[in-house]
Structure formats: C-alpha cells, structure tokens
Chains A and B, each alone.
Chain A
C-alpha cells in the first residue's frame, strides 16, 4: 500500500495543454475516484500515474518516490482497463500469471497466487477458459484478478464498468467496493458516472477541462458543492438552478419566486440551486404548471414550469397530478444553495 502524490502535474500534446497543473494527494489505502465529463483530463491523469503517458510538468510520487521517469512495471501498480484488455490467446490462468511469469516468479508460487486471486473473485472454475468464452462480468473479474495477483501498492481503474449492462454494473460496483474493503489497497478509479463516484469513493476528485474543481467526500460534495459545475454534476436528477437576484434580504425571481434569506447577502444577481428531492408540493407557495409526470413506483418525478423557470421535483410516493394541472411549490430551505452569477462559486450564505 502506498500514498500517491500528484504535484502540479501538466500534460501537453504538442502545443495543446490538456491537464493544467493538477495537485492532489491520495492517502494510503484510500479509494479515490476521479470524475468529470469526457475530455476533462481524468483518464490522462490516471495514465500518467500508471506511466503510460509522459508527464509534461510537475511530479507524481508513489510512496514518497518521484516516479516521473520510472517504467510502469517498476511503479508497483496494476491497472484495469475499460475494455479489460485481456490477452485473447491466453487462458484465464495464463492471463493472470503473465506478469508473474515476466517477473520470474517460481512456478509453484505463481500457481498459488493465481489460485488465491481466483478464489477471491470466484473464478476457480474458469481458469482454463479463454477470454472469448467468458461473459462481460467474468472478463471484468479476470481483469481484476490480473491486477490482484501482482499484489500492487496502487490499483488503477480506467472506467472499468462502462462496457457492462446496468444491472451487472451495480453488482460489480459492490464487488469492487467489497474487494477494496478486504484488500485495503490504495485505489484510483476513473469514471464519468457520478453514481459510481458517489457510491464507491472515500473521496471524489471532480475535474473539468484539465483542472480540479473540488475534492472531498461524496456527501461533502453533495451537500456543499464549491461551484455550479460540481453542484450540477453530482446528484441525480440534476440540481435545479434558478436565476434571480438578492433584493432586500430576499431571493427574488421574475417568475414570482420569493424566498427570505438570512441577512448579510450583498444585493445583486445570483443563481439559486436546490436538489429535486427538496422541492415539495403544497397548496400554497409559488404556483407552477405540471409539464411531465414520471412515476417510478417508489417516487414520482415532476417537471414543472412557471414563466421561464423550469424545475424538477422528486416526490416520495405517488401523486395524482396530470400534465397541465397547477400546483404550489415549497422549498426546503436547509438544502438551498446560492451561487455567484459571475464567478459560479457558491456563496457561503445559506437560506434560513
């Protein structure tokens, strides 16, 4: 196990810079997820940690040692790829043993390690099969087995669940998390799926356009997003954003929304953010028109509109509303966020 330090790391492809001086530290035994939209530089950062990409500037250290110029095999890392990258002409056992064979591990020890990893992942009966004879989930497990046998200090996962169907993804998510809890190996995991990030990570690093937007535990990021991007990226359905202004100690909007704010806020334009589950239906309050009703059984998602303001409300249970109906809206003030319209950052002030 080891600590990973990323210090002011820059990546350039010719004249194009894609990672702009990123710094973060991953503690020993921690499960950290790099999350962000496509092209945000998260995979590039992971590949730099793996040694598959050259670092254009800054340093990457594993266990206190700068590894910028260390070959991937000497970094004591293991990586699981999005498309598994299993060797199609080797059996499951040979796939898992390949790195040990190259490292000159004695045959008996190699066999013991492979069997051990296979037992951990429930692959004992598949050791003689070829990757082509396995299902997606089984291949994913073999890819993880190949990483485990090396007993690395750091696990790197590059969108490992993207090629699986929704049901299997949920199952593998739990398996990877359980595996981490058992092995306690430092893990860096890249995904664009915020649900994976929220459910699996000890800490999340949110990236956009080659910079880190925010680092924190999943619930910290959910409860106190640093800016509009993080607020909108994490959480499903997405947070509602309402443009308005602070005037006389109130948040006001042209479509009739008026919410009393605790004092001390400077007057001027702001964006208010509220999670859909904190929007409630009531007889009073701002009046909205129901556009869409989406029942999922346990809860109902409503799309509501008043003037130019559109909101999504997630209501527990079922509602007897039809599109076109009018309904009053209340906001749970504890979950309201205010963002500076100019800088997009969250204002420390909360509604009371």
Chain B
C-alpha cells in the first residue's frame, strides 16, 4: 500500500495523532485481554498457587483440566450447551426470517402494530420478565426439559427486526419477477428470499450461537436437573460446591472459551460485518 500524504496536516502531526491512537488502543486492548490471560494462567496453577501474583505459574499443571473433564460431567454440559445453542440458532433463524419477511412484504391488517409490539420487547430485559416467564414455562410442563431451555430463547425481537430491515432493502422487482415466473409466497420465500439472505443469516447465526453459548440466567432458572445444565451453569456451580475452587473454575472457563475463540477466528469477517450491519457496540 502506498501512503498518501495528508492534504490538511503536516507529517509530524499525523505521526503524533497516530501514536496517541495506538497508545490508547493498546491500553484498551490490554484491559480486555489481561483478565483472559489471568484466567488462562490460573487454570494452569494449583489450588494453593491460585492467588499468587505472578502471571506465569510456578509449577504449571494440567491437573485442573483433567479434573474438570473427568471428575465433573463437564463434557455433558458442553454437549448440552452445543445442542441448545445450535437448536436455538437454527430454529430461531428459520422463524425470524419468515416473520421478518412477512412484516416487510406481506400486507395484512395490524402489520405495523404487530411489528411495534415485537420491537418493543427489545426494551425489556430478561431479568424483568423472568418470573412470569418461569410461571408460563412451568404451566406448560417444560421445567427441566430441553424444550424449556430452548423455546423461550427462540423468540428474539432483534433478529426479526434486523431481517425485516434487510428484506425492506431488497428490490421489490425481484419478487415481482418471481410472481410473473409463477412463484407463490412460499416459493418466493424459499427459492428467492432465503438464498438472498445468506449473508445476514450467517451474521445472525454467529450472534445467536454466541449469545446462547454464554447464556446463564435462563438455563439456571429453568433447569435444576444436573443432566440439563449448560456450561455456564456448570462453571458457576464450582463456586457454590467448592467455594475455593478457582483453579477449576478458570480451567472450565478456558475450555468454554475455546469454541467461541475458534468461531471467532473462522468467522472473523462475518462477525465484524454483523456488528457493522446491526450497529451493535
């Protein structure tokens, strides 16, 4: 890349500003990375060593990892998390894209009202509705079931909103061409709209998967059966059962962070795109 000289500022000014930016960015990055480094460090330390102020463990050990994987049903928790996150992602995207398309394109009475109602739920956070939600799920007999963890997580106004906005931006003529070609609503959705939504669906899939992988409050509330615990609940449990087991907790956290890290490395571009399109953060 060739460097273009700035038209407005002198070279020294540009260098100075760039230096300040880099320093600030480096400090921020360090603030975020340091706890993760500390987590990784503790996961290799023994229980006695856990609170030593050195970043590098004096006697590094894989014992914590072995313990977490063999002595606690952590693999089961991982499988639960994977199953719940993947199911929520797939089911949610299917329904969200249909809802988004209907709200963007189909004409029916009350459409705007329904959209507003869905959109307004973005303003309400989970802790606010967790008690009524729990009562409903209990009434439906879904306590301590996968359905109980999955079904309430499927509804998410954010995905519907984002997809609706995306469908509004698609040229209507493509759908009209499909109408003239003889396609009905379902065929247009399935053969034209859905393939065109691939980029935004990929972005949403990553966001949904990560959000559900890291979900804690709802799985904790709805599933007391240890066989249904997800990783986040499992990790939290180290604290109550073994109050001083920070080394185990950190080892578990490190294991849990790996899939998200891998996801990030593979889908870095899509994640950045999704953050840009959704205007998050």
Contact = CB atoms under 8 A, between A and B. Distances in A.
A102 B177 contact: no
A81 interface: yes
B179 A72 contact: yes
B190 to A, nearest CB: 12
Chain B: interface residue count, which band? 10 to 19
B182 A73 contact: yes
A85 B196 contact: no
A89 B196 CA distance: 7
A50 interface: yes
Contacts of A102: 181-183, 187
B71 interface: no
A87 B180 contact: no
Interface residues of A, number: 22
A51 B177 CA distance: 11
Given A81-B173, A82-B173, A85-B174, A73 B192 contact: no
A73 B174 contact: no
Nearest to A82: B173
A72 B173 contact: no
Contact of A73 (B180, B196, B198): B180
B171 interface: yes
Interface in B161-207: 171, 173-174, 176-183, 187, 191-192, 195-196, 198
A102 B183 CA distance: 7
Contacts of B177: 79, 81, 85-87, 146
Contacts of B176: 52, 79, 81, 85
Nearest to B171: A83
Contact of A83 (B173, B181, B192): B173
| Interface SS majority for chain A | loop
A86 B173 CA distance: 9
A77 interface: yes
Contacts of A78: 180
Given A79-B177, A85-B176, A87-B192, A99 B171 contact: no
Contacts of B183: 73, 98, 102
A103 interface: yes
A88 interface: yes
Contacts of A72: 179-180
Nearest to A104: B182
B187 to A, nearest CB: 7
Nearest to A147: B180
Nearest to B192: A87
Contacts of B171: 83, 85
B187 A79 contact: no
A99 B174 contact: no
Interface in B194-238: 195-196, 198
A50 B177 CA distance: 10
B182 A99 contact: yes
Contacts of B196: 88-89
Interface string A34-59: 00000000000000001110000000
Interface in A107-164: 146, 150
Contacts of B182: 73, 99, 102-103
Contacts of B179: 51-52, 72-73
Interface of B: 171, 173-174, 176-183, 187, 191-192, 195-196, 198
Given A85-B176, A98-B183, 18 more contacts: A50-B180, A51-B180, A52-B180, A73-B181, A79-B176, A81-B173, A81-B177, A85-B171, A85-B173, A86-B177, A87-B192, A89-B196, A98-B181, A99-B180, A99-B182, A102-B181, A102-B182, A146-B181
20 contacts: A50-B180, A51-B180, A52-B179, A72-B179, A73-B179, A73-B181, A78-B180, A79-B180, A82-B173, A83-B171, A83-B173, A87-B178, A88-B174, A98-B178, A98-B181, A98-B191, A102-B182, A102-B183, A102-B187, A146-B177
